Amino acid sequence: MDFTAITPRELFIAFFKIGIQGFGGVLPWARRVLVEERHWFTEEEFLDAWGLAQALPGGNIINLSIGFGLRCAGPLGSSAALCGLTLAPFVIMVMLGVLYTEYGEVAGVVGLLRGVAAAGAGLVVSAGLKFAISPRLRSPLAVFAIAAFILSAFVRWPLALVLLLLAPFSWWYCWRRAK
Amino acid sequence: MNWELALILAWELAQMSLFAVGGATSIIPDLQRRVVENHAWASNAQFAEMLGLSQSAPGPNMLVVSLIGWKIAGFPGAIAAFIGMCGPSSVLVFSLSRFWERHRGRRWSTSLSAALAPIAIGLTLASGYLVTLGAGTSVSAGVFIGFTALATLLTKWHPIWFIGLGAAAGLAGLI
């Protein structure tokens, strides 16, 4: 696939579709649009690009749009993909923000929000548990997960500090194991 | 307009941007610390409400910061929050992606990815714990949190159903 044939306009449209459809996790929608609809990636290439985007800080689909846009059409491609991806969801967030600040204290809405918050919390808990029971967390590495949990939930350290303390040790361990 | 407040918010989020491994769920503990504890821009319950609301919307879940930004400082806050949260990491990705691609599969890059994964898992678990504290305002809320967590683990139901179910139950006064 010759990526340079993909124009910023096409990038904008494809990532706009991903952004507007991506309910509850963008991964399946990104795969559908980029692999099945546009054939810009094969299945393996897509998983590869996704893994790459995940390894860097920031939202993984945001990183994917920037990296892929750059490969296709340079800085303009990056901006087109990123803007396409975030435009509609940003507008929706602002609308939610308007409704929330306007009606958040109204009697009936208070209960509704309480329910939404509980569901949202459940989803976050489940995301954590799903990862925690995955084989990726083999026993010695679990030490770093537990340390990160305690440092951020109870000691209340800033994210940067947690990472700067734990990542060097974790990296050193993984580096030695990777021999 | 609240441009000054928006700038402060952007700076708070920018301090997390380059360390946001694992995306949106990893930043929640520090985000909550800054927004609720340090600046008192929102209560614990409001923070959990906004996080839940944002999960009912499509798109990158990182955009929750724009909803919180709107609550804090209106439109300037929504924009500033997005730029503060995603700007630094995006610039890093933009400048590193070619280099990173060339070094894919090397020992240093695969071991770095492997090293960051457990930390991101710990941060996500911390997020779940903290948001549960904010959202679990009653016994029934706690039960619904547990139900949602288990049901999404055990079934393939789409997350949006749980948000809808929570909203309906809350509206009916059950939570």
Q: What is the pLDDT of residues B132-148, one digit of tens each?
A: 999 998 999 999 999 99
How many angstroms separate the CA of residue B84 from the nearest CA in chain A?
Answer: 11
If we measure between CA atoms, which residue out of A68, A51, A76 comes closest to residue A1?
A68
- Has residue B43 been placed in a domain? yes
Q: Which residues of chain B have pLDDT under 70?
A: 1
pLDDT recorded at residue A134: 74
- Has residue B58 been placed in a domain? yes
Does residue A49 have a pLDDT over 90?
A: no
Contact list in B for residue A145 (CB cut-off 8 A) is 118-119, 121-122, 125
Contacts of B153-158 with CB under 8 Å at 24 or more apart are B153/A126, B153/A129, B153/A130, B158/A23, B158/A24
At residue A131 the predicted structure's pLDDT band, cuts being 50, 70 and 90, is confident
Does residue A171 have a pLDDT over 80?
A: yes
Average pLDDT over residues A53-68: 93
Count the Cβ atoms, other than its own, within 10 Å of residue A3. Answer: 14
At residue A137 the predicted structure's pLDDT band, cuts being 50, 70 and 90, is low
- Has residue B169 been placed in a domain? no
**Would the CB atoms of A170 and B158 count as touching at under 8 Å?**
no
Which range has the worst mean pLDDT, A53-62, A149-158, B138-147?
A53-62
Q: Can you tell me the ipTM of this complex?
A: 0.95
pLDDT recorded at residue B102: 84
pLDDT recorded at residue B58: 93
Does residue A93 have a pLDDT over 70?
A: yes
Q: Are B96 and B24 in contact (CB under 8 A)?
A: no
The structure tokens 């989020």 sit at B13
The structure tokens 């507008």 sit at A91
pLDDT recorded at residue B99: 86
Does residue A1 have a pLDDT over 80?
A: no
Which residue from A100, A119, A146 is facing B148, i.e. has the nearest CB?
A: A119
Percent of chain A with pLDDT over 70: 98
**Would the CB atoms of B66 and A153 count as touching at under 8 Å?**
no
pLDDT recorded at residue A55: 85
Does residue A114 have a pLDDT over 90?
A: yes
- Has residue B154 been placed in a domain? no
Which 21-60 residues of chain B touch chain A by CB within 8 A?
A: 21-30, 33, 37, 45-46, 48-60
Q: Please tell me the distance from the alpha carbon of residue A16 to that of residue B59, in angstroms, as a whole number.
A: 9
Does residue A133 have a pLDDT over 90?
A: no
- Has residue B140 been placed in a domain? no
Average pLDDT over residues A65-86: 96
For chain A, the residue count is 179
Domain that holds residue B39: 3-135
Q: What integer best gives the mean pLDDT of chain A?
A: 92
- Has residue B93 been placed in a domain? yes
Which residue from A130, A160, A170 is facing B119, i.e. has the nearest CB?
A: A170
How many angstroms separate the CA of residue B37 from the nearest CA in chain A?
Answer: 10
Beta strand residue intervals within chain A, DSSP E: none
At residue A139 the predicted structure's pLDDT band, cuts being 50, 70 and 90, is confident
Contact list in A for residue B139 (CB cut-off 8 A) is none
If we measure between CA atoms, which residue out of B41, B18, B53, B59 comes closest to residue A30?
B59
Please state the domain count of chain B.
1
At residue A138 the predicted structure's pLDDT band, cuts being 50, 70 and 90, is low
- Has residue B168 been placed in a domain? no
